Chains A and B, each alone.
Chain A
Amino acid sequence: MTAMLWIGTRKGAFTLRPDERRRSWKLSGPQFLGHIIHHIVQDPREPRVLMMAAKTGHLGPTVYRSSDRGRTWQEADQPPAFRKAADGEAARAVQKVFWLTPGHASERGSWYAGSSPAGLFRSEDGGERWQPVAGFNDHPMRSKWVGFGTPDGELLHSVRIDSRDPKHLYLAISAGGVFESTDGGAGWTPLNEGCAADFLPDPSAQYGHDPHCVAMHPLAPDRLYQQNHCGIYRLDRPARRWERIGQAMPKNVGDVGFPIVLHPTDPDTAWVIPMDGQTVWPRTSIGGKPAVYRTRDGGKRWRRCDDGLPKSQAWLTVLRQAMCTDDRLPHLGLYFGTTGGEVWASVNSGESWRCIARHLPEIYSVTHAI
C-alpha cells in the first residue's frame, strides 16, 4: 500500500500523499490549525486508528483519536493527567503530551504517552481514558531522575516495548536518562552505563543523562540504539553498557543530533542527522551543510548521504520525532522535517534527497502511515 506521511507542526497537522513512485507528493491540511501537534502515530494493530498529541498556546494538553485514518478525530474523555497531589506534596500538571507509543501487539487498545513534565501514562481503551503509571510517576527516585529538564521542560519520550514481552519497557527522559522496567511499569531502573554526560559533575553518574532518542529494532528487540546529547550509542541486551558507536563518525562532524531511525528489517542499519553541539549549541546543520549519516554495520562505519541536500547556507534543525522510514523495501523511503517547515524525502534508503514540502510551520514530528 502507498505510504503517507503525517506531519505534526507547531500550527497544526498536515499529510503528504505520494503517487505510486513517490515522485509527486500531495500536501493536504491543515487539520487542527493553530494547535501545537507534538506527535501523530498510527496503530500498527489497527491501521485505521491514529493518535495525536495536541494543545494550543492557551489551553491545556489533550489527545485526539481517529478511527477512520484521520478523516475525523475525537478528543479523549480523560486526557493524560497526574494524580491529584496530596497536601504538602509538589503538585504536577501535564503541560504537554509529547510522545505516543502503541502498546504491545497482544494488548489491543493499549497505548503509552510521555509528557512534560516527565510523566508516563497508559490507556487501555484506545486512548479514550488515560491513567498515570504510578510505578514511574510516583517512584521515590523520580524527582532525582528527571534532573533539570530541557529549555522546553522535562521531556519523557522514546517509550519502547519489547515485542516478546509486554511487561518489558524502556523510556527516556531529557534530561534524566534511559530507564527500564521488566514488570509492566511497576518498577524502573536506570540504564545509562557507558553513556557520556559531560555536562554533569560526575561523569559516571547512574542517571541525569540526556538521551535525545532511543530506538529498538522491531525484529531484534535486544538491539537498542540511542542518539544522545553526548553521542550515538548501541546496546545489545542483556548487556547493560552502551557502546559509543558515534566515535566512528568523522571528527569534524561529531555525533550529536536529535533523531535516530532504524531500518525495518536490518538491525545493523540506522540513520542519524548530525547537528552542531559546540559552544552554545546552535543545533543546526554543521557548517550550514545538512547531511544524513548511515551505518550498515551497527555503527562501525558511517557514510555521509547528502546528495540533493543543500550544499551551503542551510541551517536546518531536525527534532527527535521528525524523521522516519516507510516500509517500501528494497527501495526504502526515508523522510525528515525541519523546524523551518521543509519535508525532505529519499526513496533510495537515504542515497539522495528531494524537498517534497516547504513553507510549513515548525515541524515537530514526521511519521509514516499506511
Chain B
Amino acid sequence: MSCTVHIPSPLRSYTAGAHRVPADGATLEEVLASLEGRFTGIRFRIVDEQSHIRPHIRFYVNAREAQELCAPVGAGDAVHVICALTGG
C-alpha cells in the first residue's frame, strides 16, 4: 500500500528538500522502513534504537495521532511527521 509522508523541515536534508514523499507499508513501522530504504539515516533521527518515538516527534496518520509504530496505515493515507514546537 502506498501513502504520502509529509516531511518536516529538519528532515528534508534526507529527502533532497522534498516536502512530501511516497512510501509503502501497512503500518507506521513499515512506512518508516520504506523511508529508511530510500533515505538512509532518517529513521534513527525520529525513532530511537529501542523503537520508541523520540520525545519531540509526533506521527499523525491523516488527522489522528499514531502513538505506536504498529498503527495501521492505509492506501492513500497521509502520514505527517511533526517536530514538536520546543526549544530556544
Interface residues of A (CB under 8 A from B): 56-60, 62, 75-77, 79, 81-85, 91-94
C-alpha spacing A58/B56, complex, angstroms: 5
> Please, what's the 1-or-0 string for B51-73, where 1 marks a CB less than 8 Å from any CB in chain A?
11010110000000000000000
Contact indicator A84/B49 (Cβ below 8 Å)? yes
B46, A93: Cβ atoms closer than 8 Å: no
Q: How many A-B residue pairs have CB under 8 A?
A: 54
B87 touches A57 (CB 8 A): yes
Contact present for A59 and B45 (CB under 8 Å): yes
Nearest CB in chain B: distance from A264 CB, A: 36
- Chain B interface size band reads 20 to 34
| Residues of chain B at the chain A interface (Cβ within 8 Å) | 8, 10-11, 40-41, 44-52, 54, 56-57, 83-84, 86-87
Q: Which residues of A contact B56 (CB under 8 A)?
A: 57-58
Bound complex: CA A57 to CA B45 (Å): 11
Please indicate the chain A residues that have their CB under 8 angstroms from the CB of B50 in the complex: 82, 84-85, 91-93
Of B48, B52, B83, which is within 8 A of A58 by CB?
A: B83
Q: What A residues does B51 contact at CB under 8 A? A: 84
A11 to chain B, nearest CB (A): 11
Question: Among the listed A56, A77, A82, A93, which residue makes an inter-chain contact with B10, where contact means beta carbons less than 8 Å apart?
Answer: A56
Complex: A59 Cα to B11 Cα, angstroms: 8
Given contacts A57-B56, A58-B56, A59-B54, contact A81 B83 (CB under 8 A): no
Q: Give Cα A3–Cα B10 distance, bound, in whole angstroms.
A: 33
Q: How far in angstroms is the closest Cβ of chain B from A325? A: 33
Residue of A nearest to B41 (CB): A75
Query: CB-CB < 8 A to A91: which residues of B?
Result: 50, 52
Q: How far is the CA of A79 from the CA of B87 in the complex (A)?
A: 23
Please measure, in the bound complex, the distance between the C-alpha atom of A77 and the C-alpha atom of B47, giving whole angstroms.
Answer: 15
Nearest CB in chain A to that of B83: its residue: A58
- Set of chain B residues within 8 Å of A83, measured between Cβ atoms: 49
Question: Could you say which residues of chain A place their CB within 8 Å of the CB of B87?
Answer: 57-58
Q: A75-B41, A77-B40 are in contact. Are A59 and B46 (CB under 8 A)?
A: yes
Check B48 against A94 for contact (C-beta < 8 Å).
yes
User: Which of B11, B41, B48, B86 has a CB less than 8 Å from the CB of A77?
Assistant: B41
Give the nearest-CB partner of A79 in chain B.
B44
Q: Which residue of A lies closest to B52 (CB)?
A: A93
Chain A min CB distance to B85 (Å): 9
On whether the beta carbons of A60 and B48 are closer than 8 Å, the reply is yes
Does the CB pair A60–B52 fall under 8 Å?
A: no
| Most chain B C-beta atoms within 10 Å of own C-beta, residue among A57, A62, A76, A77 | A57
Q: Which residue of B lies closest to A93 (CB)?
A: B48
Q: Which of A58, A62, A75 has the most CB of B within 10 A?
A: A58
B13 (CB) vs chain A CBs: closest residue:
A75
In the assembled complex, the Cα of A58 lies from the Cα of B9 at a distance in Å of: 11
Closest Cβ neighbor of B85 among chain A residues: A58
Q: Which of A58, A76, A84, A92 contacts B86 (CB 8 A)?
A: A58
Q: Which of B44, B49, B84 contacts A62 (CB 8 A)?
A: B44
Bound form: Cα–Cα A93–B84 in Å: 19
A62 to B41 Cα, complex, angstroms: 9
Residues on A with beta carbons closer than 8 Å to the beta carbon of B10: 56, 58-59
Contacts of B8 in A (CB 8 A): 58
Are the CB atoms of B49 and A58 closer together than 8 Å? no
Given contacts A58-B10, A58-B57, 14 further A-B contacts (CB under 8 A): A57-B87, A58-B8, A58-B83, A59-B10, A59-B54, A62-B44, A79-B41, A81-B44, A82-B49, A91-B50, A91-B52, A93-B48, A93-B49, A94-B49
- Closest CB-CB distance, A59 to chain B, in whole Å? 4
Q: What residues on B are CB-neighbors of A85 within 8 Å? A: 50
